[in-house]
A and B are shown apart, each in its own frame.
Chain A
């Protein structure tokens, strides 16, 4: 079993055992970790991470994250690490709408593009 910790700057969001962890790194492409994986250190995309346990799975919306794997330990560090049940769907919807409006006004607004990405991943995690 893997020892998994999902840590945000404000608190430890998840700590427990898992059989597999799936995340998406900046190079694009999901990467799954099981026990015995080589030590790994990667930068994560704004995406979700899945922590798969024998009796189910947890999903986290991540923003500006890192994943570190050493032996049996998996640590995910992220500015924003929200579990599905912590996500405020109404707020994410509102944020998405704002970002879409901002992008309609200025297509190349990087802040709005990021906000849109964040809102989308929050909604995806919450609805899964």
Chain B
């Protein structure tokens, strides 16, 4: 009959073991999702690169630079902050980092005497900012772990509309940049206004030497006009894909740590349980020996029987 302590420990080990099974499964799922997310991010690169190259050619072709999305004002009265977080937790410090950086941007906007506007992707950011009484302008759920271009377009359109007509002068994008499997970094990027087409072209690093005389249809300006919104969408899409890859990488790491911790815990608890069992056996032997001694005369101990009882006790 195992003692109370032993039984208690046994139950705890079983519970930790089932937790470990869950965290291990989540770790493996996250691992495969990271690979997929990274592949998607890579597959999206050619489009982003081409669109930058087209802008470069437009700049060379003499497209004007007074598009509304290029409007840069000195005194920012309202700053919009886009925060890309996840819908689900158990991803370590992934969401906390983005939320902290976003809150800092909001505070910076307020201390500069301006207003803010929050555009939140992911349930975690919504929960955080709503709980703290921030005013949320737009929130999106259900797109963070596998964003599609349609999702990016929905968000980008809302943000561009705010920028063009709702008095927002500046948009900051806060997300987690995926650098390698082991390194992700919370990044704050200026999303709008777009830097002048010339600067974009330089940042794109294409072959600017090829300043061919392009033919535009309908015209350089109208091509630019329909291209810039696509450029915004593409940038947001890239950021969302990187954020998704980072989310899965963070979750994988967090779950690996949890699995390791569970293993350690099981190891220690097993030690403790074995010790408790051993203590119980020792106590029982002492009781049997004591009892036998009390019942018999000093010189009349039945060692054979005592041995039998002891073995019986220890095998239980």
Q: Please give the residue numbers on chain A whose beta carbons come within 8 Å of chain B beta carbons, in ascending order.
A: 5, 7-12, 25-27, 31, 38-43, 64, 66, 68, 70, 75, 77, 79
Interface centre among A9, A10, A25, A66 (most CB of B within 10 A): A9
CB distance from A63 to the nearest CB of B (A): 11
How big is chain B's contact interface, by range? 20 to 34
The chain B residues found within 8 Å of chain A, CB to CB, are 40, 43-44, 46-48, 50-51, 53-54, 57-58, 61, 148-149, 152-153, 210, 212-218, 220, 222-223, 226-227, 230, 233-234, 237
Can you list the 5 inter-chain pairs with the closest CB atoms, starting with the nearest?
A: A42-B217, A39-B212, A11-B43, A9-B149, A39-B214
Asked whether B223 lies within 8 Å of A43 as measured between CB atoms, the reply is: yes
Which of chain A's residues have a CB closer than 8 A to the CB of B218? 25-27, 42-43
CB–CB B50/A27 < 8 A: no
Q: Contact at B149–A10, with CB atoms within 8 Å?
A: yes
Q: Which residues of A contact B217 (CB under 8 A)?
A: 25-27, 31, 40-43
Give every chain A residue within 8 A of B152 (Cβ-Cβ).
Answer: 9
Identity of the chain B residue whose Cβ is nearest the Cβ of A64 in the assembled complex:
B230
Interface of A is mostly: strand
Is B214 within 8 A of A12, CB to CB? no
Which residue on B lies nearest to A76, using beta carbons?
B50
Neighbour of B233 across the interface among A5, A9, A66, CB < 8 A? A9
CB < 8 Å A-B pair total: 88
In the bound complex, CA of A38 to CA of B53 (Å): 17
Q: How many Å lie between the Cα of A43 and that of B216 in the bound state?
A: 9
The answer to whether A70 touches B215 (Cβ under 8 A) is no
Please state if A77 and B50 are interface contacts (CB–CB under 8 Å).
Answer: yes
A9, A39, A43: which contacts B215 (Cβ < 8 A)? A39
> Across the interface, do A41 and B44 meet the contact criterion of CB distance under 8 Å?
no
In the complex, A12→B54 CA distance in Å? 16
Apart from A7-B50, A11-B44, A39-B214, 18 more pairs, CB < 8 Å: A5-B50, A9-B47, A9-B149, A9-B152, A9-B234, A10-B44, A11-B43, A39-B212, A40-B214, A41-B57, A41-B220, A42-B216, A42-B223, A43-B217, A66-B223, A66-B227, A70-B212, A77-B51
6 CB-based A-B contacts, threshold 8 Å? A7-B47, A9-B234, A10-B149, A41-B216, A43-B222, A66-B230
Contacts of A42 in B (CB 8 A): 216-218, 223
Given the known inter-chain contacts A11-B43, A25-B217, A43-B217, please indicate yes or no for A68 contacting B61, CB distance below 8 A. Answer: no
Chain B min CB distance to A24 (Å): 11
A41-B223 in contact (CB<8A): yes
**Minimal Cβ-Cβ distance residue in B for A70:** B212
Q: Which residues of A contact B47 (CB under 8 A)?
A: 7-10, 77
Q: Residue on A with the closest CB to B40?
A: A10
Interface pair B58/A41, CB less than 8 Å apart: yes
Most buried by A among B47, B149, B210: B47
* B149 and A66 contact, CB distance less than 8 A: no
Q: A9 touches which one: B44, B213, B220, B226 (CB < 8 A)?
A: B44
What's the minimum C-beta distance from B97 to chain A, rounded to whole angstroms?
27
Indicate the member of A7, A25, A26, A64 with the most B CB atoms within 10 Å.
Answer: A7
Does B54 contact A10, Cβ atoms closer than 8 Å? no
What's the least CB distance linking B228 to chain A, in Å?
12
Complex Cα gap A66–B152 (Å): 19
> Shortest distance in angstroms between B63's beta carbon and chain A's nearest beta carbon?
10
On whether the beta carbons of A79 and B153 are closer than 8 Å, the reply is: yes
Counting chain A CB atoms within 10 Å of each CB, the highest count among B46, B53, B233 belongs to B46
Residues of A within 8 A of B40 (CB): 10
Cβ 8 A contact of A68, one of B43, B50, B220, B234: B50
A41 CA / B218 CA spacing, docked (Å): 9
Please, which residue of chain A has its CB at the minimum distance from the CB of B54?
Answer: A68
